Amino acid sequence: MARVLLHICCGPCAIVPVRRLQEEGFEVTGFFWNPNIHPLQEYMRRRQAAAEVAERLGIPVIFKDNEYDPKVWFRAVSYREENRCFHCYALRLERALAIATRGKFDFVSTTVLYSRKQKHDMLRQLGEDMTKDGPVSFLYRDFRTGWEEGIETSQEWGIYRQQYCGCLYSENERYARDLRDLNKK
């Protein structure tokens, strides 16, 4: 059975990818490492949600909480705000690939591929470029087809659902309307 290390960004986004990969016959291990998630309380909520989903789906997860360091992420995206997603993806995929290589996994992938709001072509190309000469291959799947299933299941299970990708930039973009509304008063 082929083994895949699945980078997990949050619990709700893991539901469909884990199910689909298990249905395909993969042995799935989760990997939670996300220095992009801010603030720390948000990181803790998403970590808990990822643990709850993993338990329900019966997969182990490697948590690298001792490596949670937002400075690493800020350094990766500083002065690159217009292309920050590329650098964020690269940072997290690079760490996942290192773990997958050390653990002798066959494949590495990410639950970011579940989101309709992420840049799939960029993520796919990045993953393929990073793994083209290595012992681990990037496993691309378009998990967006399960968008509604993931939402419904996470709601049924009472799993915490976030409203932004995790970084401060996306949080500001998500809630910018609230600030504009204040200025209209």
- Confidence at 172, pLDDT banded by 50, 70, 90: low
138 forms bridges with which residues in the sheet?
108
Q: Is the pLDDT of residue 179 over 90?
A: no
Instruction: Please give the span between the terminal C-alpha atoms of the chain, in angstroms, as a whole number.
Output: 60
Taking the C-alpha atoms of residue 144 and residue 141, their distance in angstroms, rounded to an integer, is: 9
pTM: 0.93
Q: Is the pLDDT of residue 120 over 80?
A: yes
Structure confidence at residue 173 (pLDDT): 72
- Confidence at 178, pLDDT banded by 50, 70, 90: confident
Structure confidence at residue 181 (pLDDT): 76
29 forms bridges with which residues in the sheet?
5
Ordered domains of the chain (ranges, CATH)? 3-184 (3.40.50.620)
Q: Residues near 176 by Cβ (< 8 Å), separated by ≥ 6?
A: none
How many residues appear in the chain?
185
Q: Quick: pLDDT tens for 89-101.
A: 999 999 999 999 9
Q: Quick: pLDDT tens for 22-54.
A: 999 999 999 999 999 989 999 999 999 999 999
Burial class (CB in 10 A: 0-12, 13-18, 19+), 161: middle
Taking the C-alpha atoms of residue 101 and residue 99, their distance in angstroms, rounded to an integer, is: 5
* pLDDT mean over 144-157: 97
DSSP characters over 63-111: E-GGG--HHHHHHHHTT-GGGHHHHHHHHHHHHHHHHHHHTT-SEEEEG
Supply the DSSP symbol for 143.
Answer: G
Which residue do the tokens 């690159």 mark?
Answer: 80
- Confidence at 147, pLDDT banded by 50, 70, 90: very high
* Average pLDDT score, the chain: 93
